[in-house]
Amino acid sequence: GENVEQHPSTLSVQEGDSAVIKCTYSDSASNYFPWYKQELGKGPQLIIDIRSNVGEKKDQRIAVTLNKTAKHFSLHITETQPEDSAVYFCAASLNSGYALNFGKGTSLLVT
Amino acid sequence: KAGVTQTPRYLIKTRGQQVTLSCSPISGHRSVSWYQQTPGQGLQFLFEYFSETQRNKGNFPGRFSGRQFSNSRSEMNVSTLELGDSALYLCASSLDTGGVSYEQYFGPGTRLTVT
């Protein structure tokens, strides 16, 4: 089955700096890659997603890039703010409604 | 529009008991998926229901089961609880028109503690 690896597991940045989280996946058939943000005591919140026919997608301070050949995708957060502090999860799936295979998460701290 | 709701939010059970968790999807969403979240294993897919039928299933024992009602509300059941079943159980709903599926939105989860 699909295996998603996520790095780093923890990331500490200063307010205003950029943060980058990287994920790799194993199943070349995966074509949907969402990113979720989870705050303490809450469920994961979808923040951005990308499909395999797109190489990059941006939404204000958040961007995601996808390299299908290398089977990796990344989340970029610019101008980080304290409220960006949370655990971020990447996931891969055959389709947006199918089972999501999650990475282990990255705990981001913005100070 | 109201988000995904899950009840109860917290639950404490004893080993050997069974438990039923409930999920109400976003209005109009027909697909409901369940995930288990633990510190050790992370987020793992349990099963997905669409139009009252289980469409996908993860790698969990038969003690974990679910169902979906005609109004798209879903329940999951865990029988013969084990200590290792302690976890946050998350429900996610998706707008699925039967041919095209969309993003999954998660509820706040049910925190199950087995003692």
Tell me the chain B residues in contact with residue A104 when contact means C-beta distances shorter than 8 Å: 42
Rounded Cα distance, A83 and A110, in Å: 8
Tell me if B108 and A104 make a contact (CB, 8 A cut-off). no
Rounded Cα distance, A27 and A47, in Å: 23
Tell me the chain A residues in contact with residue B48 when contact means C-beta distances shorter than 8 Å: 97-99
What pLDDT is stored for residue A54 in this prediction? 81
pLDDT band at A98 (very low <50, low <70, confident <90, very high): confident
Rounded Cα distance, B37 and B91, in Å: 11
A8: preceding bond cis by omega (within 30 degrees): yes
Q: How far is CA A70 from the centre of its chain?
A: 16
Question: Å from B81 to nearest chain A CA?
Answer: 23
- Cα-Cα-Cα-Cα torsion B50, B56, B58, B59, nearest 10 degrees, comes to 130
Give the pLDDT confidence of B8-38 residue by residue, as tens digits: 999 999 999 999 999 999 999 999 999 999 9
Give the pLDDT confidence of A50-75 residue by residue, as tens digits: 988 889 999 999 999 999 999 999 99
Residue A4 burial by Cβ neighbours in a 10 Å radius (0-12, 13-18, 19+) = buried
Which stretches does DSSP call E strand in A26-105? 32-38, 45-51, 56-59, 62-67, 72-77, 86-92, 101-102
